[in-house]
Amino acid sequence: MSRTFETVGVVGLGTMGAGIAEVFARAGLAVVGVEVDAQALERGRGHVLRSTDRAVSRGRLSEAGRDEILGRIAFTGSLDDLRDADLVIEAIPEVMEYKRALFTDLDLVCKPEAVLATNTSSLSVTAIASFTARPGQVVGMHFFNPAPVMRLVEVVRTVATAGGVAEDVAELARRVGKTPVTVGDRAGFVVNRLLLGYLNHAASLLELGVASRDDIDAAMRLGAGLPMGPFALLDLIGLDVSHEVCEVLFEESRDRVHAPAPILRELVTAGLLGRKSGRGFHAHEGASEAEAA
Ligand code: 3HC
C-alpha cells in the first residue's frame, strides 16, 4: 500500500527551503518549517511572505489564498516539532558533517515510517542515508530554483532505497504540481551534471575574453532560446553552490568541463555569491540579506 503524505517537514529555510515549504503549502499540505537559528527563521518566513505577496500583486493569488498558504506553515526552531511529519525534506547548507548531525537527529525524532529526503544538489544521498537506521526510507528530492516556479523534481533512488519509496515520493511531487524524474545517485544527477558543465564553460569563455558577460548572456538567451543567460543563471543559483557542484562533478567525472573556472572561485572567495549577496557576475539592485540561503 502506498504512503500518504499529509504533514511535511522542511529543515533549512534558505532560498530553496522556503520555496519548497511554499510549494507544499500551496498544494494544501500541512508544513512544519524548521530553522534552528531565530534570525534565519525570520528570513525564511520573510521569503515565503514576499513570494506569496508577489503572486497576490500579479493577480495570481487572492489575499485570502495567501493567508491560507501562510496558515499551513508552522515556523519553528525545534526539530521536535517534526515528530508527526510523514516526510521531512532537508535543505541545509551542503556540508556533509551538518547533514550527518541533522539526519542522526531526524532519525531519532521522526516516526519510524516517516520518509527522510534531502534536497542536496551535490552530495551523496547514499552517504546521507547511511547516517540513519532507516536507509531504505531515505531519498533525494531535488527541487530547482526558484522552487515555486520550476516544474521538475529529481527523485534520487539509492541502492539502499526500499521498493515503493521513490514511487511514493514521485507521486507526492506530482500532487504538488511538479513533474518527477527518477535518477540514480551519481554526482549532479541529470540536470546539474549537464547544466553546470555549460555554466562553467561560459565562465571560462569570459575569462578567455571571447565575449563580454552581457554578450554571452544575450547570445544564449536570444540564440539558444534559454530564459536566462549563463551569468544571470549562475547568480540565481548562487556562485557558492555552483562552485561546489562543479568541484564534486570534477572529482567524479575528471572531465575538464567541470574543473571550476578560476573566476568562479575568486568571486566566491570575495563573498560575491550572486543574487543572495547582492552581487555576483551581475549587480542585483534590491537583493538583500533576506534572500540569503
Ligand atoms: N520565487 C517565486 N516566484 C518567482 C520567483 C521566485 N524567486 N522568480 C520568479 N517568480 C515567478 C514570478 O512571480 C512569475 O510568476 P507569474 O507568471 O505567476 O506572474 C514567474 O515566476 C515569471 O517570473 P518573471 O516574469 O519575473 O520573470 P521570467 O519570466 O524571466 O522568469 C524565471 C523568471 C522563472 C527565473 C526564468 O528566468 C527561468 O526559468 N530561469 C531559469 C531558471 C533555472 O534554470 N533554474 C534552475 C537552476 S539549477 C538548480 O536550481 C539546481 C541547483 O541544485 C543548483
| 60-118 pLDDT tens trace | 999 999 999 999 999 999 999 999 999 999 999 999 999 999 999 999 999 999 999 99
For CA atoms 127, 105, 121, 129, the dihedral sign is positive
When pLDDT is averaged across residues 160-171 and rounded to a whole number, the result is: 98
| CATH (residue range 192-278) | 1.10.1040.10
The finding on whether 51 has its CB within 6 A of some atom of ligand 1 is: yes
3-state secondary structure (DSSP) of residue 271:
coil
> Using CA positions, which residue lies closest to atom 27 of ligand 1?
227
Q: Determine the distance from the C-alpha atom of residue 244 to the mean position of all C-alpha atoms in its chain, rounded to a whole number.
A: 14
What's the CA gap between 111 and 22, in Å, rounded? 23
pLDDT reading at 263 higher than 90: yes
Closest atom of ligand 1 to CA, residue 238: 54
The finding on whether 192 has its CB within 6 A of some atom of ligand 1 is: yes
> Using CA positions, which residue lies closest to atom 15 of ligand 1?
55
CB atoms within 10 A of CB 270: 12
ipTM attached to this prediction: 0.94
> Using CA positions, which residue lies closest to atom 6 of ligand 1?
146
pLDDT tier for residue 287 given thresholds of 50, 70 and 90: low
pLDDT reading at 291 higher than 50: no
The catalytic position among 47, 142, 243, 258 is 142
The finding on whether 60 has its CB within 6 A of some atom of ligand 1 is: yes
Is 192 catalytic? The answer is: yes
Residue found under cell 539509492: 158
Say yes or no: do domains 7-184 and 192-278 share a fold: no
Is 145 catalytic? The answer is: no
When pLDDT is averaged across residues 38-54 and rounded to a whole number, the result is: 96
Model-wide pTM > 0.80: yes
Q: What does the domain layout of the chain look like in residue ranges? A: 7-184, 192-278
| CATH fit for domain 7-184, picks 3.40.50.720, 3.40.30.10, 3.90.15.10, 2.50.20.10 | 3.40.50.720
